[in-house]
Amino acid sequence: MRELQLVGIDKRFPPGVRACADVTLTIRAGEVLAVLGENGAGKTTLMRIAAGVTRPDRGSVVKDGSRLALGSPRDAISHGIGMVHQHFMLIPRLSVAENVVLGFEGGSRLLDRSTLRRSVESFSEQVGLRVDAGRLVEELAVGEQQRVEILRALYRGAEVLILDEPTAVLTPTETDGLFRVVREMASAGKAIVFISHKLHEISQVADRVVILRNGELVAERPPTTPLGELAALMVGRPVEVPTRSGTAASESVALELAGACSHGAPGLDSVSMVVGRGEIVGVAGVDGNGQVALEEVLAGIRQLSGGTLSLVGEAPERTSPTTMRRLGLVRIPSERHRDGIVAPASVWENLVMFDLHRLGFARGGALRVRAARRRAEQLVEEYGIRCGSIDQSVGELSGGNQQKVVIARELAADPSVVVAAQPTRGLDVGATAGVHRALLEHRERGRAVVLISADLDEICQLSDRVYVMYEGRVSGTAAPSERERIGRLMAGVAA
Amino acid sequence: MSLGGGISVPGGDPPGEAVASPQASVAAAPEPARSLSALVRAALVERNGSRVVLSAIAAVVAFALGAVALVANGISPWAAYSALFSGSFGSAQSLASTAVQTAPLLVASLAVGISFRAGVFNIGAGGQLGVGALAAGIVGGYVHLGTGVELLAMAAASLVAGGLWAAVPGLLKAYTGANEVITTLMLTYVAADLIDYAVTGPAKASGAINQTPQLAGSALLPTLVGNTQLTAAILVGIALVPLVWLLLFRTTYGMRLRMVGLNPGTAAAAGFSVRRVGVSVLALSGALAGLAGMLEVSGVLGSVPQNMSLQVGYTAIVVALLGNNGPAGILLASVFLGALTAGSTTMQSAVGVSGPFVVFLEGIMIGSVVGMPAIARGLARRRRGEARAAGAR
């Protein structure tokens, strides 16, 4: 194969969302093409069309001059087009070898395990992707699972390999490993498509960058293009990146965990942490290393099984969301839809429901609807929440505006500690900047922020100090400038 | 003791059969209950503006399929339906009989609707209505107080009895995780047996008939229009409509209740106790259903008979679904189904179609209200599956 062309691809989704608008794009053998764009820009849809997962309304996929009929992912793979999705499609209880060959076993229905294992292992050596073919997928780390996905695509004869946001789940070390693999595959003549919205990755891995915005291909640039320019192309206007100014304002302690333990998988294992007033303390770590336990302990949902938690000098015996709020700690939850909003309920109800009593909207048992709605109107205005009216249901708002509802509700009370867990996950560049600005302003008011995030860029950009979590423990602390050290700590490597 | 004609519970076996063979019921109970619960949840938890339309379509579908059934039995649907209409709205007398049927149904439906709003599926309003009726019948039959006070005492007894009866599944759910769909439903059979026991034994009136004592005038709700059975029961029902609305939308408890129903996770994060709301809403729902029982005894029956029909408790589920668990919608839907029940008597005498035909219509309506959006959502999900791919771009 020399090149794969997407010609005039058009795709609409009800209601009236144009995911791809007449996109024409060439993918060449031997190069890494980065497809850059905001959430919802059309990147994944475009590539799903190339991989036979989604059918376009118009347009065609052309390989070396001949038009392909792609009715299914199987058709695509038979033409050498493979895709590694954001959510891995592996069967955890099967071995690596079984996952790799699944559906492509050849004629025989009977699988001889040891032969299978040997053939997959020799194939993995051959393409330079080392895996232990005999292990069960469920025992593997996320980075290894991703390698299995890639191996599977190659095993099926992929010449074009599409990777959808492949670094989202990886540690910095794993990311470096992936980049090496990607470069090697390109020099071996494969065509690699790298879907991303992380700008800084582009220069490291890509030969060429195309930028999608609102379904349209707006530009093609070399990877050396300044990040600011790429960001502006993605968003459609210049983006100002909010940054931290000055050093932490005070030494007085707002929140302290000492030897905190909690059950869970993983829970917390003797976590000690001090958060001062006027600082943003970052908690870095790959997802699933105890951040959820930490978040829930701080929010008062989960009880400590050992150690202590003290908040502005008080150490509540039993915690609950209500006691923590009363003591001045609020949370921007990582699971926004589960814990942060009531999607079918109105904007105003979502804005006031957490603080009915504190804000005086409860008189006897009666709800002071008019006062509550006035408050909601103010917050909508103040935080620039874009909604038709305060009676619109929150579920109808964009992700960014839903998060604004949460932030308005939580920050308006000027709490002494904000626990912001994955606060910009799934948000676009513009909305992300808004969230960052709100957190920085809170810090400047002399309040404390605990920023729990798997996004290392976010951590380094906002934090005054960084704790790194690994398997429920604090594996180390670092300054935000020590990016590599944080990366090693995230991987559990002694730094 | 029977629970009245065919019982129209969405999905699953008619519970009547489960009673007939207790062994089978143990094995079969979880399966229909799960699908029933799932179906009910699917229909209730999502709100959309076109609900009136959906309910209207469901009614049309029911009448159309009913017509097919009638034709298949050689009966003119036109004759049957016009008898149904004239029996419910055709004269002052039939209007009164519609109102008589509507009153307890309205109250029981408000009870069911409140619990559905909180995401708690009280399927056992019939049982709560039964114990409420029994409590009212005993107080009215054996404790003689002055006019007015007597009625208040009966109402209080029915509220307490229904509330306690429903609090049991509430507590079981809160502390053991027992599914309230099963426990409330099963307690209905216990309630039915309790009534039979009471009216044949300890609470039996003197005389040959197995029932509680005939209520004296002071224990009967006043008649509104002479020469009809229309009593103040309907006024109680209508008065409760704005009260329930106020409770749901103008009290902090109502907000907690609704938010717990819409998203327990966020409600818990807001400091609302999902457990406490669950128990209290079941008790409240049961109390209202109990009151509906008092209205039946004091407004229509005059005593608690053996084999008292608890069908209203199931029809209330249909009403709550048709009315989208909102007080105004429930008022409309209960008048509609009250009219069907009232008209069925006329239909029976005019064209010989028996009363349970209406229950058949109700069954189709509940199936349509639950099934049509489910099918629609299924189709939408297939489209959304692709749209989500777009969203994840």
Find where tokens 């249901």 sit. A393
What is the rounded distance in angstroms from the CA atom of residue A346 to the CA atom of residue A397? 10
Beta A417-421 vs A191-196: how paired, if at all? unpaired
What is the rounded distance in angstroms from the CA atom of residue B351 to the CA atom of residue B347? 6
Domain assignments of chain B as residue spans, ordered by start: 50-373
What is the rounded distance in angstroms from the CA atom of residue B326 to the CA atom of residue A2? 63
Q: Inter-chain contact A365–B251, Cβ cutoff 8 Å?
A: yes
Q: Are B310 and B191 in contact (CB under 8 A)?
A: yes
Question: Model confidence over B125-179: pLDDT tens digits?
Answer: 999 999 999 999 999 989 888 888 999 999 999 999 999 999 999 999 999 999 9
- Which chain A residues have a beta carbon less than 8 Å from that of B253? 365
Question: Model confidence over A424-451: pLDDT tens digits?
Answer: 887 777 788 889 999 999 999 889 999 9
Q: Are A77 and A156 in contact (CB under 8 A)?
A: yes
Mean pLDDT of all residues in chain B? 83
CA distances from B143 to A193, A405, B306, B366, B385 (A): 84, 57, 21, 41, 64
End-to-end CA distance of chain B: 61
Report the Cα A58 to chain-centroid distance in Å.
31
Q: Which of residues 307-336 of B touch A (CB under 8 A)?
A: none
Find the helix or strand (DSSP H, E) in which A185 lies.
helix A172-187
Domain assignments of chain A as residue spans, ordered by start: 3-235, 254-490
Q: What's the half-sphere exposure (Cβ side, CA atoms, 13 Å) at A481?
A: 1
**CB contacts < 8 Å between A and B, how many?**
105
What is the rounded distance in angstroms from the CA atom of residue B266 to the CA atom of residue A341? 6
Give me the torsion for CA of B270, B276, B279, B280, rounded to 10°: -90
Tell me the pLDDT band of A169, cut-offs 50, 70 and 90.
confident
Q: Which of A299, A322, A356 sits opposite B252 (nearest CB)?
A: A356
CA distance, residue B24 to nearest chain A CA (Å):
36
What is the rounded distance in angstroms from the CA atom of residue B60 to the CA atom of residue B368? 10
Report the Cα A310 to chain-centroid distance in Å.
30
3-class SS letters over A39-59: CCCCHHHHHHHHCCCCCCCEE
Strand partners, A208: A33
Q: Which tokens sit at B168?
A: 């049991």
Strand partners, B379: none
What is the rounded distance in angstroms from the CA atom of residue B286 to the CA atom of residue B294? 12
Q: Inter-chain contact A369–B249, Cβ cutoff 8 Å?
A: yes
Mean pLDDT of all residues in chain A? 87
CB-based contact, A89 to chain B, within 8 Å = no
CATH number of B50-373: 1.10.3470
Q: Are B234 and B102 in contact (CB under 8 A)?
A: yes
Q: Which of A19, A299, A353 sits opposite B390 (nearest CB)?
A: A19
Tell me the pLDDT band of A15, cut-offs 50, 70 and 90.
low
- Which chain B residues have a beta carbon less than 8 Å from that of A48? 389
Q: Inter-chain contact B393–A369, Cβ cutoff 8 Å?
A: no
What is the rounded distance in angstroms from the CA atom of residue A180 to the CA atom of residue A143? 13
The count of other CB atoms within 10 Å of the CB of residue A479 is 13
Q: What is the DSSP letter of B299?
A: I
CA distance, residue B184 to nearest chain A CA (Å):
27
What is the rounded distance in angstroms from the CA atom of residue A116 to the CA atom of residue A133? 9
Q: What's the half-sphere exposure (Cβ side, CA atoms, 13 Å) at A447?
A: 22
Q: Which tokens sit at B47?
A: 């709100």
- If one compares A80 and A15, the residue with the highest pLDDT of the two is A80
Q: Report which of A193, A216, A213 is spatially closest to residue A51, judged by C-alpha positions.
A: A193
Q: Which of residues 15-34 of A touch B (CB under 8 A)?
A: 17, 19
Alpha-carbon Rg for chain A in angstroms = 25
Q: What is the pLDDT of residue A29?
A: 93
What is the rounded distance in angstroms from the CA atom of residue A218 to the CA atom of residue A264? 46
- Which chain A residues have a beta carbon less than 8 Å from that of B249? 367, 369
Give me the torsion for CA of B152, B155, B157, B160, rounded to 10°: -120
Q: Are A206 and A34 in contact (CB under 8 A)?
A: yes
- Which chain B residues have a beta carbon less than 8 Å from that of A42? 390, 393
3-class SS letters over B220-248: CCCECCCCCCCECHHHHHHHHHHHHHHHH
Q: Which of A84, A339, A368 to mutate to test the interface with B (most CBs of B within 10 A)?
A: A339
Fold exhibited by the domain A254-490: Rossmann fold (3.40.50)
- Which chain A residues have a beta carbon less than 8 Å from that of B392? 39, 44, 86
Give every residue of chain B whose pLDDT is below 70, as ranges: 1-51, 376-393
pLDDT above 80 (res A495): no
Q: What is the pLDDT of residue B104?
A: 95
Q: What is the pLDDT of residue A298?
A: 94
Q: Are A383 and A351 in contact (CB under 8 A)?
A: no
Q: Which of residues 253-272 of B touch A (CB under 8 A)?
A: 253-255, 258-259, 262-263, 265-271
| Same fold across A3-235 and A254-490 | yes
Q: Which of B247, B256, B257, B393 to mutate to test the interface with A (most CBs of A within 10 A)?
A: B393
> A442 Cβ partners below 8 Å, 6+ apart?
A411, A418, A449
What is the rounded distance in angstroms from the CA atom of residue A26 to the CA atom of residue A61? 10
Q: Which tokens sit at A16?
A: 């009236």
Task: Provide the 3-class DSSP secondary structure of residue A188.
Answer: coil
The count of other CB atoms within 10 Å of the CB of residue B377 is 14
Q: What is the DSSP letter of A139?
A: G
Closest-CA residue in chain A for B391? A40
Q: Which tokens sit at B88?
A: 């419910």
- Which chain A residues have a beta carbon less than 8 Å from that of B387? 13-14, 17
Q: Which of B46, B258, B271 sits opposite A322 (nearest CB)?
A: B271
Q: What is the DSSP letter of A494?
A: -
Q: What is the pLDDT of residue B49?
A: 45
DSSP E strands, A106-159: none
- Whether domain A3-235 has CATH 3.40.50.300: the reply is yes
Question: Model confidence over A355-383: pLDDT tens digits?
Answer: 888 888 998 889 999 999 999 999 999 98
Q: Inter-chain contact A299–B269, Cβ cutoff 8 Å?
A: yes
What is the rounded distance in angstroms from the CA atom of residue B168 to the CA atom of residue B108? 18
Q: What is the pLDDT of residue B243?
A: 97
- Which chain B residues have a beta carbon less than 8 Å from that of A356? 252, 255
Q: Inter-chain contact B46–A339, Cβ cutoff 8 Å?
A: no
Question: Model confidence over A216-271: pLDDT tens digits?
Answer: 999 999 988 888 888 888 888 877 777 777 666 566 889 999 999 998 778 899 99
Q: What is the DSSP letter of A160?
A: E
What is the rounded distance in angstroms from the CA atom of residue B288 to the CA atom of residue B294? 10
Q: What is the pLDDT of residue B366?
A: 84
Which whole number is the average pLDDT over A288-295?
A: 90
Q: Are B67 and B77 in contact (CB under 8 A)?
A: yes
pLDDT above 50 (res A35): yes
- Which chain B residues have a beta carbon less than 8 Å from that of A212? 393
Q: Are B134 and B161 in contact (CB under 8 A)?
A: yes
CA distance, residue B325 to nearest chain A CA (Å):
15
CA distance, residue A246 to nearest chain B CA (Å):
34
Q: Inter-chain contact B386–A13, Cβ cutoff 8 Å?
A: yes
Q: Inter-chain contact B250–A369, Cβ cutoff 8 Å?
A: yes
Adjacency order of strands within the sheet including A58-63: A17-28, A3-13, A58-63, A66-68
Q: What is the pLDDT of residue A176?
A: 84
Q: Which of A212, A321, A362 sits opposite B269 (nearest CB)?
A: A321
Q: What is the pLDDT of residue A50?
A: 93
Find the helix or strand (DSSP H, E) in which A337 lies.
none
CA distances from A133 to A139, A140, B67 (A): 12, 11, 65
